[in-house]
Structure 1
Amino acid sequence: MTADTAAPTLVRALTRRDLAGILLNAMVGAGMLAAPAKVYAVTGGWSFTVLLLSAMALLPLILCFADLGSRFSGTGGPYLYVRDGLGRIPAFAAGWLLWIAQVMSTATLANLFVSYLAGFAPILESGVPRLATIGLLGAVMIGVVIVGISPSARVSNALIVIKVAFVALFLIAGLPFVDLGRVETGATPAIDDFATAMLVYLFAYTGFERGAVLAGEARDPKRDMPAALGISMIVATLAYAAVLLVCIGTLADPSTTDRPLAEAGRLLYGSIGAVAVSAGAITVILGTLFVIGIGMPRVLLALADDGQVPTRFAAIHPRWRTPWIAILLSGVLSYVAAMASDLLTALTISTGSRLISYILSCIALWRLRNRADAPPAMFKLPAGGIIALFTAALFTGVLLLGATNELPALAVVTAGGFVLLLFGKRRAA
């Protein structure tokens, strides 16, 4: 096959800065907007302890993904890790759940976007205007993502600059009014309440795996991925702490509102403050939606490359060098799902799906560390096998304690994926 007739491939264009921007856009996301209210409702003044415990629980997971990310340079992230460490069947479960989680997250966040936008134009809250807004949002997101990874990276970098500026201004504007007496802890919450509250912050943090999914389009993923993970983890934790401090320190009871940041802005600066914070929140949601739109089709691409789903989803556009069919399918399905429901999708179901892929990835790392033929690591985590097993056990406990009610739904979704897999293989045979 000549160079002129060879099938088009992905372009390795993402730098370390681009990867860090994508990771931060995913981690400093819409979960940050609701977390102060949801966590305070469960644990009260212990919210900062919950944030600290969540960051501590996430740190070994980040280190495990840094080790894994330094071993692989292909597209797929957790799917590749689990496939090489545990085999194709567990890998399909990890990839399928990760893709479903992103579809559900997109539907949820699209509705949240319209909800905030309706604060400026109430007509958009329901009916045809709502559907048209979701449709236009989806068309713009799909259009930008499909025309190339480099334009997508530039948009992502611009959005994260705006996000960081928004958090910094929110902290500067609210800090003079913070009453540290409101941050005092009360009675110690039950352990299951702690787990439930941690799950909220783990949802806010989730998304870092999208950088790993895009490794096939990074210039030097084995070196850049560990650094980008570390940078994003630190910046995201500081952002969550800043927002939590202002919300708890200024509001009498943050749990009484679904929009604690906007309520804090209104309380301190009147309608101008509420409008400013709502505009910032819209940017935060857009950034998260955008990076989901980049990462979600690449998961489908990885599954298609291995024949786990129809291979047509692995098609690369000859001009834009993006998985255009996977982008169209993932995007259309997500925004149609957003149109079909007026209610926000349960965040814990989406988080539970991700947690399962994280657990499988950690077990895969343990297996890879004990294999002589495993891909070599540019960043080798000390005692990585022990840490991987500990992290898998830790997140299994969080899943069982914090998302017990969602486990049946997760089982149904997983079973549905395997039914489609078997049906597809029978048709192929």
Structure 2
Amino acid sequence: MAGTRLAPEDERQHASAHPAPPVRGSVTAVQGTALYIGAVLGTGVLTLPGYAARLAGPASLVAWVGMVALSIPLAITFAALGSRLPDSGGVSTYVRQAFGRRPAAVVGWWFYIGAPVGVPALAIFGGSYLSALIHGNQDATALYAALLLGIGLFSNAFGVRVSGRVQLFLSGGLALMLVVAVLVAAPHARLDTMQPFAPHGWSAVGSAAALLVWCFTGWETMTHLAGEFARPERDIKRATTGALVLIGVLYLLLATTTVLVLGGSEEAAETPLASLLTYGFGSAGPALATLVAVLVTLGTINAYVGSTAKLGAALARDGALPRYLAPGAETGGVPRRSLFVVSLVSGAALALATRAGVGVEVLMLGCTACLIAVYVVGTAAGIRLLRDGGGGARLMAGLALVMLICVLGLTGWFLLWPAFLAVVAAVFTHFHRNREA
């Protein structure tokens, strides 16, 4: 009868029989594509096309094609996992499902600590463009880097709905500017720059590929925001496909134009984007290149900060970090406590790089070592979890794992950083679990 109130016991049974519908996020496929582009199409576009050309000559294009091709199985693997298990824990959740709690905690720590260490390097790249535009010194670079980092942290304090819309604007602006740079410089392309094709030998192609690893990290980032998608089972795959196509095309266009227009010159190595834009816009080229630098820096910081903060809250929820950081792990939640920790780690790393003389390369390689380690264990988890109805995705996970094991060796001594974090995470998990028992 309408209006009749059920007894408490009947209410519980009714609720159990008719559970509330799951909470849906707000991120669309288009916004997800933009977040992917911001995470993967990072600050490498500012310098690495030129450095790769200088290192391996026109043969550097082989390294670019190889890295684009090898990113496909990695992206497909994480998209399949994200659509099946949409959770803010991301790769850590997949590893927990496949291998247990302690390996998941280790993977979570690799990303939660490793990614914020690399974020200041992104800010410094953008800050250096701003500083060069006004002929500033290192102090000006540090100030601009701190400002860019602060904007990325601030935008995520209001949740992924806001940062997703910001990312849509940033990624769209970045893609447009890269296309403009290619179009205005293309009429100045010369085929003679393709000879000799491999001036430093084919071994240099391997060295260039190692350098380009930085350009292709970020495919794991969206797994931490999978639960924020309105329809994760559909939109994550759409976002991944769109991002793969756009990122691959943009990288290859930019790299090819750099080789055909600038060759392996010093000009190409230092500021390839500014040099390309100068062909079409004259003295205004460096200013436009600075705009691109700011867009790509903010976009990458925004994507990494949001996903890392979400991961920290999920890790705390699952007992791999202090419970105090858990608020915000739920879909639609804003993990402000976790975001504060990310801010502290990134701020300290920025201070080390700008004030203590620690090179930006150290931050980059430390971050890359952690992320590749995450990928290795994450794809291994994918092989186990994608057994049922995921034959194609499982095959992609296997291909990605083989590729990543090879790439992991390129990080050298920086593997000590994820090894140290693994020990700390294991110790914390052990004592925390005993305390709760």
The residue that corresponds to 1:3 in the other structure is none
Is the Cα contact below 8 Å between 2:278 and 2:284 reproduced in 1? yes
Report the CA distance shift for 1:141/1:187 in structure 2 as closer, same or farther (over 3 A): closer
CA–CA distance in structure 2, aligned partners of residues 278 and 134 of structure 1: 13
Asked if 1:232 is matched to 2:233, the reply is: no
Match of 1:243 in 2: 254
Residues 321-354 of structure 1: CA distance to partner in whole angstroms, max 9, x if unpaired? 3011011110232123212322314333322221
Q: Which residue of 2 aligns with 1:287?
A: 299
**Cα distance, 1:179–1:414 mapped onto 2, change above 3 Å:** farther
Matches within 5 A, 1:107-122: 107-122=120-135
Structure 1 residue 288: Cα displacement: 0.9
- Does the CA-based 8 Å contact 1:36-1:254 persist in structure 2? no
Q: What do the CA deviations read for 1:214-262 (whole angstroms, capped 9, x no partner)?
A: 0121111121111111110110011111211222122242466332222
Question: What SS is found at the alignment partner of 1:186?
Answer: coil
State the partner residue of 1:6: none
Shift of 1:136: 3.7
Highest Rg: 1 or 2?
A: 2
Which residue identity lines up with residue 321 of structure 1 in the other structure? G
Q: In 2, distance between residues paired with 1:62 and 1:131?
A: 34
- Whether the aligned pair in 1 keeps the contact of 2:372 and 2:404 (CA below 8 Å) is yes
CA distance, structure 1, for counterparts of residue 314 and residue 194 of structure 2: 46
Q: What secondary structure sits across from 1:340 in the alignment? A: helix
Give the direction of change, closer, same or farther, for the CA distance of 1:420–1:32 in structure 2 (3 Å limit): farther
**Structure-2 change in CA distance of 1:42 and 1:122 (3 Å):** closer
Question: Is the CA contact (8 Å cut-off) linking 1:67 and 1:381 kept in structure 2?
Answer: no
The aligned residue for residue 301 of structure 1 is 313
Q: Does 1:316 align with 2:324?
A: no
Q: Which runs of 5+ in 2 are unaligned?
A: 1-21
C-alpha change, 1:42 and 1:281, in structure 2 (3 Å) is same
Candidates 403, 411, 415, aligned match of 1:407: 415
User: In structure 1, which of residues 389, 392, 406 is the aligned counterpart of residue 398 of structure 2?
Assistant: 389
1:172-211 equivalences under 5 Å are 172-184=183-195, 185-186=197-198, 189-191=201-203, 193-211=204-222
2:288 is the alignment partner of 1:271: no
Alignment match, 2:15: none
Aligned to 1:363: 380
Aligned to 2:8: none
Q: 1:157 to 1:136 in 2, by over 3 A?
A: same
What secondary structure is seen at the aligned counterpart in 2 of 1:348?
helix
Check conservation: 1:20, 1:229, Cα contact below 8 A. Answer: yes
Measured after TM superposition, the shift of residue 419 of structure 1 is 4.0
Please provide the CA RMSD for this pair.
Answer: 2.7
Q: What is the distance in 2 between the residues matched to 1:316 and 1:390?
A: 35
- Is 1:43 matched with 2:56? yes
Query: Aligned residues, how many?
Result: 410
Check the 8 A contact 1:86/1:364 in 2, yes or no.
Answer: yes
Amino acid at match of 2:155: V
Report if the CA contact (8 A) 2:313-2:329 is conserved.
no
Q: In the alignment, residue 24 of structure 1 is paired with which amino acid?
A: I
Shift of 1:121: 3.2
TM-score between both structures, scaled by the size of structure 1:
0.87
Q: Deviations over 1:83-135 (max 9, x none)?
A: 11122222122221122231122111122222111123344x334x5555444
- Amino acid aligned to 2:365: T
CA drift of 1:61 comes to 1.5
Q: Identity across aligned pairs (percent)?
A: 22
Secondary structure at the aligned position of 1:308 is classed as coil
1:208 is displaced (CA, Å) by 2.2
Once the two structures are superposed, residues 121-172 of structure 1 have per-residue CA deviations (whole angstroms, 9 ceiling, x without a partner) of: 344x334x55554444343322221112211111111111111110111011
Alpha-carbon separation, structure 2, partners of 1:115 and 1:10: 42
Describe how 1:68-147 pairs up with structure 2 within 5 A: 68-123=81-136, 125-127=137-139, 132-147=143-158
> What is aligned with 1:348?
365
SS at match of 1:119: helix
Normalising by structure 2, report the TM-score: 0.85
**1:158 aligned residue (153, 169, 185):** 169
Q: Counterpart amino acid of 2:380?
A: I
Q: CA deviation at 1:420?
A: 4.3
Alignment partner, residue 5 of structure 1: none
Q: Partners in 1 of 2:206 and 2:113 — Cα distance?
A: 23
